[in-house]
Chains A and B, each alone.
Chain A
């Protein structure tokens, strides 16, 4: 049997991303508030076959914050990693790459994280997954997941987890930007949220360009790009394409006419 691209792209990626965002939006609606990282965590538990989820923001050099948790065990797992500065979440933040531990009991994790592994196993966590919340150079925190039974996330589950991490990243950035321009984090114009998650190179390039045009850091540049697209009721990738094509500037003109 020839190798297959399990979970590979095609045909239904837009509906896939829309489905995940839809779950987050539905959760928020049932709670009666705008979408938040808390909703992302709840959806993670409901749809990824994990036992609990948490979000940490801030780094490990300064104070880190537990932004949300779904249950007491998740809270303890989050806290112990912050306290010890050790574990999948700190590693994911440092490396900027997911840390996926299917079997915490196995393979030297006790050596890698002596304090964390002991405590996590004592709390009943058999598998732990940490996904950094980032978009390139924009980094806001980490999404942590645990399961009380061992085993890897399937490719499909990992994909959904990454989409949820993307959602949390955007929601946290919006919150940081103070929800300007009508809170783009909310289920905005049709296609806004799913469009965002289709990692287009021009969105990243436009973000970089805006750091220069607006004289701001990369996180704020991205928030301003989204806010502009939302205010203009345009797709993010279309606005980005115009910026990259130099048909649109969001900052002062370097060579003013006259």
Chain B
């Protein structure tokens, strides 16, 4: 593992947490960095909604096939197992997991993923979600990667709590719903922008994130403002300006 990247990743994440930050944006950063650091093909953060559903809140890619794969895990899969047991779930060869996960394993293989590592996000006695890592190549996960993966999952948990004092479980429930609600607003904004500009969801999301950073806005605040805005140009910018590749 690249030691500089490892240090840099945690410095960046900690840096983000000392100021006001957007939880969805933060979790996306964490998912992106997980992919780089742990040399996996895709990563996703899932939260356990008390309604009885696993909800994907951030992934390293907005590609439909990845999102579908996560949504499939409501009934079975590594993520669900990790959340239920509170223990990491590692499957180095998806082809051998067809009995373990009769629906999920074929779907994962179809999507191009041959190995998975699902890490529970734990807070005291509760498991609130999971960080899920997928690899295109089968094979074992390095023990060092497994440890760093747990640290990243713990960082995601801490980020979710942010500035709230965890005096009661109510705070955790409220924060969880806040993150889930933010994600819905962002999905709605993605749809509106994708339709307006004629781009795919991945591109629309990238534009929203970049614009929020450039304008020093919280991602979810921007998403809400965009949804509330009328049919005129997107908050003063024209379509060509938004699609300029030189944006930071």
Contacts and interface: CB of A to CB of B under 8 A. Distances in A.
B223 to A, nearest CB: 8
B206 interface: no
Contacts of A211: 188, 191-192, 195, 227
B127 interface: yes
A96 B227 CA distance: 15
A9 B188 contact: no
Interface string B80-106: 100111110000000000000000000
A166 B50 CA distance: 13
A10 B86 contact: no
Contact of A8 (B64, B80, B181, B224): B80
B126 A201 contact: no
Contacts of B195: 208-209, 211-213
A200 B71 contact: yes
A136 B55 CA distance: 14
A256 interface: no
Contacts of B180: 199
Nearest to B175: A97
A10 B190 contact: no
Chain A interface size, as a band, is: 35 or more
B188 A102 contact: no
Nearest to A159: B50
Contact of B194 (A4, A155, A205): A205
B177 A6 contact: no
A3 B127 contact: yes
Contact of A205 (B55, B174, B191, B228): B191
Given A3-B86, A17-B52, A211-B227, A10 B80 contact: yes
B173 A136 contact: no
A208 B227 CA distance: 8
A136 B184 contact: yes
B55 A199 contact: yes
A177 interface: no
A215 interface: yes
A158 B196 CA distance: 37
Given A159-B49, A162-B50, A2 B85 contact: yes
B16 interface: no
Given A205-B187, A207-B188, A211-B192, A4 B125 contact: yes
Contacts of B116: none
A205 B201 contact: yes
Contacts of B173: 98, 100, 155, 158
Contacts of A98: 173-174, 177
B174 A3 contact: no
Interface string B127-148: 1100000000000000000000
Given A6-B126, A10-B74, A16-B52, A212 B192 contact: yes
B2 to A, nearest CB: 31
Contact of B53 (A107, A134, A198): A198
Contact of A9 (B49, B184, B227): B49
Contacts of B48: 5, 7-9
Interface in A140-199: 152, 155-156, 158-159, 162-163, 166, 197-199
Q: 4 closest Cβ contacts across the A-B interface?
A: A208-B191, A136-B184, A204-B187, A159-B50
11 contacts: A3-B120, A3-B126, A4-B85, A5-B48, A8-B80, A8-B83, A11-B75, A97-B178, A208-B192, A211-B195, A212-B195
